[in-house]
Amino acid sequence: MKKSISFVCAFVLLSATSAPAQHHMSNWVHRTATDTTIVQCRTDSLTRAAFPPNSMNMMMMPDSIYCRINRMDMDSLHLPHDSTFIGWYGVQAGSDSMHFNMMNSDSMYGSHNMMQFMKNLSCQFHWDSLMTDSTHRHWHPTGMKGWNGSGWVSLGATMTGNTGFVASSQLYSAFAFIGSLSSVVLVTEGKVIPGGYQLEQNFPNPFNPSTKIEFNLPQAEFVVLKVFNSLGQEIATIVNGLRQAGNYTVTWNAGFAPSGVYFYRLSAGNFLETKKLLLLR
C-alpha cells in the first residue's frame, strides 16, 4: 500500500506594503487573496507556512487549496534517509479538508510530493528534541532537506538556534532536519574555568537584528538557553545540550522577529536565570 507523506511550512512575508497576514491552523489558501495567508502547525505555533498574494498559478491551480502542517515523530519517516536526520514535518495540500491529493502523484498541480508556486514561500520550521529518537536526543539541527518524490533536496535553510528558515517557490511534502552531535550555534569557548555560574547581559542591547549572549559554567552541565517573547511564548532555542566547563558566547539572530521586549533564560544544572533584551527595528 502506498503511503503518502505531507509537510507544511511556515511563511513570513516581509513586505511593508501588504495587508496584515491572516493566520490559520489548517485552512484554505485562496488564489485571489490580497494579503498573506499563514498556516500554522496545529501542534507547534513556531512552525508556519506563509503564502503571499498571487503565488498560485492562475492557469494550473484551482481557486483554492486546503493546507495542513503536521509535526511528525522521527520513527514515522519511512522514506529512505541516513543517520543525520533528526526530525521532520509533513505538508498536506488538497482539494478539500478530506482529500489531500495534490502531492500524491503527477498532476496539473504538482509532481510526486512537490508543488510549484509563482512566488517564494517563506518557510519556518521549529525543531524540538522530542521529534527525534533517543539516539539523537542531544543533537542539534544544522540544516534542512525537502523530499521531491524521488530523493532529498538540500534547501539552503538559514538556521537560528533550533529554527530553520527556507524561502522557496517549491512546496515539498516532507521537510526534514539534519543535525550533528557536535553542532554548536555560533559559540566560542574560553579555556579559563570560571568560579561560578553566570549569565551576562546581552550586547548590544537594544539590538538589530543580532546580539551576543555570554554565560559561564564552572563544571560540565546540560545547558538550555531559550528566548521568549513578552507573552511567555518560546521564540528560539539557542543552546540545548551538554557543555563542558568554560566561558561561552552565543549569537542570536532575531531577523524573523518583530520589535519588542524579549527574555532569555539559561538553565544549567540547578542554575536558572532570566534576563531581558530589547529588539528595535
Per-residue pLDDT reduced to its tens digit, 133-165: 777 766 778 899 999 888 999 998 988 878 899
Q: Round to whole Å and give the CA distance between 214 and 200.
A: 5
Position 89 pLDDT exceeds 70:
yes
Cβ atoms within 10 Å of 152's Cβ, excluding its own: 19
With b for 16 or more beta-carbon neighbours within 10 A and e for fewer, the 155-175 pattern comes to bebbbbbbbbbbbbebbbbbb
The set of residues, in sequence order, having a beta carbon less than 8 Å from that of 208 and lying 6+ positions away, is 279, 280, 281
Position 5 pLDDT exceeds 60:
no
E strands of 41-195, at which residues?
48-51, 64-72, 85-94, 114-126, 140-147, 152-154, 158-160, 163-172, 174-180, 188-189
For 163, phi then psi, to 5°, come to -120, 130
Q: Round to whole Å and give the CA distance between 61 and 49.
A: 18
Fold of 22-180: Chondroitinase Ac; Chain A, domain 3 (2.60.220)
Q: Round to whole Å and give the CA distance between 29 and 97.
A: 12
Cβ(27)–Cβ(39) below 8 Å: yes
Distances (CA, A) of 103 to 183, 224, 256, 268: 33, 38, 29, 44
Position 67 pLDDT exceeds 80:
yes
The four Cα atoms 268, 273, 278, 279 give a dihedral, to 10 degrees, of 20
Mean pLDDT in residue range 227-243: 89
Position 14 pLDDT exceeds 80:
no
Three-class SS state of 97? coil
Q: Round to whole Å and give the CA distance between 136 and 129.
A: 8
Cβ(131)–Cβ(178) below 8 Å: no
Domain ranges of the chain: 22-180, 188-279
For 211, phi then psi, to 5°, come to -150, 155
Position 18 pLDDT exceeds 50:
no
Which among 22, 66, 25, 23 has a CA at the least distance from the CA of 44? 25
- The predicted structure's pLDDT at residue 7: 38
- The predicted structure's pLDDT at residue 145: 96
Pick the CATH number of 188-279 from 3.40.50.10320, 2.60.40.1930, 3.40.50.300, 1.10.10.10: 2.60.40.1930
- The predicted structure's pLDDT at residue 179: 87
The set of residues, in sequence order, having a beta carbon less than 8 Å from that of 230 and lying 6+ positions away, is 260, 261, 262, 263
Highest mean pLDDT among 6-10, 38-42, 95-99, 185-189: 38-42
- The predicted structure's pLDDT at residue 268: 93
CA 103 to chain CA centroid, Å, is 22
Mean pLDDT in residue range 36-47: 88
- The predicted structure's pLDDT at residue 63: 83
- The predicted structure's pLDDT at residue 21: 45
- The predicted structure's pLDDT at residue 191: 52
